[in-house]
């Protein structure tokens, strides 16, 4: 048996935990540069605010009560995510963090000492007490059914946030699947759902009753596994150790359009720094460094431009200096004067777990001495919370930095922003 614990309206709930006046209020979180809505509280959903709705459009709408909007505070959300996951791990020996606010839990032997749903309520109470966040818990004999149960636990209030689909109660499972649209099934995106609908498959129960061989022939082995999981057959195992990443991308839309090469060079340098730090966090080295730039496809009277260039290294590296140097070479090949750039980014590919390679006797580029030691010191300073060290190429407080005009305080990562409680 598996359980899936998921925080309700995670980003919005994080904002409300340490700001009591926001609890129960319409609250939305905006994307980078305060562009569009990426998260909503339950009260905001009731007002008809949709995911992806542009902020300027929401501002022009009239609502019966005030709608609170915040810029994305990723450091706050990451902090709360770590707290939630650590609390879940305290009650569960085998876990798999699936996303920033979701975790799969192995509950195979829990029913030897308590009922599954009793354990689910215990999880909810433990996380609520330790973090102030409310989770929904779905349980089933496989990951897909656990995900389905978690969806139902939020969809119908009578379950009080916890629902278990057990092999001993097939009628409950069948009833739920008959009410669940196929697009809500884990792994069935909009494209697959549209094709399934054309075949007359509209609900999760209809997908469960489809012939697995037919599904595999017309779709993929992945959808066949999902089909089998809906029938109670566990096909997707728990991944206690996440697989190594195959690619790292660091990109941002600019707060202001970039028109000069110097500003673009600073932006790419900053993204290269961050990508290199992530690479070292994965304990990997890379050979391919790609840079891409693009203008806005929605700009009026401007010809859209997008391009990418890649540099291949002879020796794998995770040294920020090497990655910045390669990124600058790639940028030089795709930079085009006279354009108003809206976005740029860097991609690292072709990873290897070590920096060893066969060198040529006449290679001009040799590995930097004491590279790993220097990068270790650099990361240590930047992650200590005592200060930051960066390369001069990224500039100081450039105008193109991401807009975050409605950013909430750093409640959990800055002493000066700690909330103050008063007793009356």
Secondary structure of residue 148 in the 3-state scheme: helix
Give CA separation, 47 vs 27, 72, 167, in Å: 10, 21, 39
Find out whether 248 and 282 touch, Cβ atoms under 8 Å.
Answer: yes
Q: Which residues in the chain come in under a pLDDT of 70?
A: 240-242, 355-366, 385-386, 397-400
Its pTM stands at 0.78
Could you tell me which of 72, 68, 78, 77 has the C-alpha nearest to residue 33?
Answer: 72
**Cα–Cα distance measured from residue 265 to residue 241, given in angstroms and rounded to the nearest whole number:** 37
What is residue 399's predicted lDDT score, i.e. its pLDDT? Answer: 65
Report which of 130, 131, 167 is spatially closest to residue 149, judged by C-alpha positions: 167
Q: What pLDDT is stored for residue 218 in this prediction?
A: 87
Report pLDDT for 155. 86
Q: In the prediction, which pLDDT does 305 show? A: 93
Q: What is the pLDDT of residue 269?
A: 93
Compute the chain's Rg from CA coordinates. 25
The contacts of residue 104 (CB under 8 Å, 6+ apart) are 2, 3, 4, 95, 96, 98, 143, 146, 238
Cα–Cα distance between 207 and 262 in angstroms, integer?
A: 55
């Amino acid at each position: 048996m598996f359980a899936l614990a998921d925080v309700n309206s995670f980003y919005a709930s994080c904002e409300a935990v340490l700001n009591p006046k926001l609890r129960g209020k319409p609250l939305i979180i905006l994307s980078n540069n305060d562009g569009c809505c990426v998260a909503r509280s339950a009260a905001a959903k009731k007002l008809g605010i949709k995911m992806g709705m542009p902020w300027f459009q929401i501002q022009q709408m009239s609502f019966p009560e005030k709608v609170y909007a915040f810029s994305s505070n990723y450091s706050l959300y990451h902090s709360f995510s770590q707290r939630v996951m650590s609390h879940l791990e305290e009650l569960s020996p085998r876990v798999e963090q699936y996303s920033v606010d979701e975790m799969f839990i192995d509950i195979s032997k829990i029913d030897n000492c308590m009922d599954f749903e009793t354990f689910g309520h215990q999880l909810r109470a433990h996380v609520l007490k330790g973090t102030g966040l409310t989770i929904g818990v779905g349980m089933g004999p496989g990951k897909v059914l656990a995900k389905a149960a978690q969806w139902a636990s939020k969809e119908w209030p009578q379950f009080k946030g916890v629902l278990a689909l057990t092999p001993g109660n097939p009628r409950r499972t069948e009833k739920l699947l008959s009410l669940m649209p196929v697009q809500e099934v884990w792994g069935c995106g909009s494209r697959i759902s549209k094709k399934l609908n054309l075949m007359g498959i509209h609900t999760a129960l209809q997908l469960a009753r489809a012939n697995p061989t037919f599904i595999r022939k017309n779709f993929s082995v992945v959808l066949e596994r999902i089909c089998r999981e809906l029938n109670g057959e566990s096909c997707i195992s728990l991944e206690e150790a996440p697989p190594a990443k195959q690619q790292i991308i660091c990109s941002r839309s600019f707060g202001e359009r970039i028109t000069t090469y110097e500003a673009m060079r600073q932006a790419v340098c900053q993204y290269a720094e961050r990508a290199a730090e992530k690479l070292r966090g994965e304990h990997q080295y890379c050979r391919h460094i790609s840079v891409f730039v693009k203008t806005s496809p929605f700009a009026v009277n401007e010809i859209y431009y997008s391009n990418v260039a890649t540099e291949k290294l002879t020796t794998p590296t995770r040294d920020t200096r090497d990655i910045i140097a390669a990124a600058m070479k790639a940028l030089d090949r795709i930079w085009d004067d006279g354009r108003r750039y809206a976005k740029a980014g860097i991609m690292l590919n072709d990873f290897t777990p070590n920096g060893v390679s066969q060198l040529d006797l006449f290679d001009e580029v040799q590995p930097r001495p004491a590279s790993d030691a220097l990068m270790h010191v650099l990361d240590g300073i930047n992650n200590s919370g005592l200060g930051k060290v960066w390369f001069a190429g990224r500039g100081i407080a450039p105008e193109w930095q991401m807009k975050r005009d409605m950013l909430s305080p750093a409640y959990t990562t800055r002493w000066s922003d700690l909330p103050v409680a008063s007793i009356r």
